[in-house]
Amino acid sequence: MTSAIFLAMLCLGMALPSPAPDPILDVEWQKWKIKYGKAYSLEEEGQKRAVWEDNMKKIKLHNGENGLGKHGFTMEMNAFGDMTLEEFRKVMIEIPVPTVKKGKSVQKRLSVNLPKFINWKKRGYVTPVQTQGRCNSCWAFSVTGAIEGQMFRKTGQLIPLSVQNLVDCSRPQGNWGCYLGNTYLALHYVMENGGLESEATYPYEEKDGSCRYSPENSTANITGFEFVPKNEDALMNAVASIGPISVAIDARHASFLFYKRDSWASHCLMDFIFQHGYTMGQ
Ligand SMILES: *[C@@H]1O[C@H](CO)[C@@H](O)[C@H](O)[C@H]1NC(C)=O
Ligand SMILES: *[C@@H]1O[C@H](CO)[C@@H](O)[C@H](O)[C@H]1NC(C)=O
């Protein structure tokens, strides 16, 4: 094939409208649209359907390969099915995470002789699992979990701390309540606020509310927090010698878009993605 013909075909391809939908997927498409409350204009429908079909194919291919032992995780269709990866990335609002200050890292103080295995739950550092429900509060759960562990380390008391306190009150630091937030800003709130209530006095509500923090009911306090350097050895060191550590994962990767489950990943993260989809649909 000469390059001239190839170019002509390329141009033709680009000028073509969305490919004809695969009739085998008609029922599934209708069901998916109902499930996620999608309604498109006539012009949109063809293009959205094409993207959705493309995503369906990728998910099926991925899961087929995964069945053969590749990848290590499964995917499934979700509310983002009509989005390209570029569109998905655009809707994921970015809260800037300040860059790590050099010189202040936990790395230097860590012990050399690490245990092969450690279970902080068995050692009493971890409160029972809770459900975040229809609120993107995983960042807040992450922070209460980390503080609960360190409080136990210091005082020997394990007290569930208030996630709702963080959801409602860390907006001035830059968090967005049940919509989105990050651990750094939430930790800043606890420091600047000079306290955090317990779950008992400020219980979880799964929704945004006005800030009702009262210093009289404050249960926890932090004097500071530090970053773990971005590598797995540092994380292993920190987890082994400090206690439960707050982590975050960049969920904007293609592999996360339709992620379903695997053996190791944080469900907080997945809830984050799915709940995000739910919030966007509002
Ligand atoms: C937390 O620390 C701040 C600053 O040191 C202090 O003003 C506040 O009283 C403390 N709160 C509690 C509950 O210990
Ligand atoms: C402390 O918490 C309790 C239980 O939620 C509440 O009844 C009380 O009003 C709170 N105290 C203050 C000073 O807000």
Alpha carbon distance 15, 36 (integer Å): 31
Mean pLDDT of 226-244: 85
One DSSP character per residue, 49-117 reads: HHHHHHHHHHHHHHHHHHHTT-SSEEE---TTTT--HHHHHHHSPPPPPPPPPTT-BGGGG--SS--S-
Rg (CA), the chain: 23
Of the two residues 5 and 134, the one the predictor is more confident about is 134
Res. 107: pLDDT tops 50: yes
Residue 237 CA, chain-centre distance (Å), reads: 23
Question: How do residues 176-214 score in pLDDT, each as one tens digit?
Answer: 898 888 888 999 999 999 999 999 999 999 999 999 999
Nearest CA to ligand 2 atom 4: 201
In the reported structure, the alpha carbon of residue 150 is separated from the centroid of ligand 2 by a whole-number distance in angstroms of 25
Question: How do residues 131-171 score in pLDDT, each as one tens digit?
Answer: 888 888 988 999 999 999 999 999 999 999 999 999 999 99
In the reported structure, the alpha carbon of residue 213 is separated from the centroid of ligand 2 by a whole-number distance in angstroms of 9
Alpha carbon distance 68, 53 (integer Å): 23
Residue 259 bridge partners (DSSP): 75
Ligand sitting nearest the alpha carbon of 165: 2
Q: Tell which residue, 125, 71, 127, 89, has the closest CA to residue 254.
A: 89
260, containing H or E segment: strand 259-262
- What tokens appear for 241 in the block? 């010698």
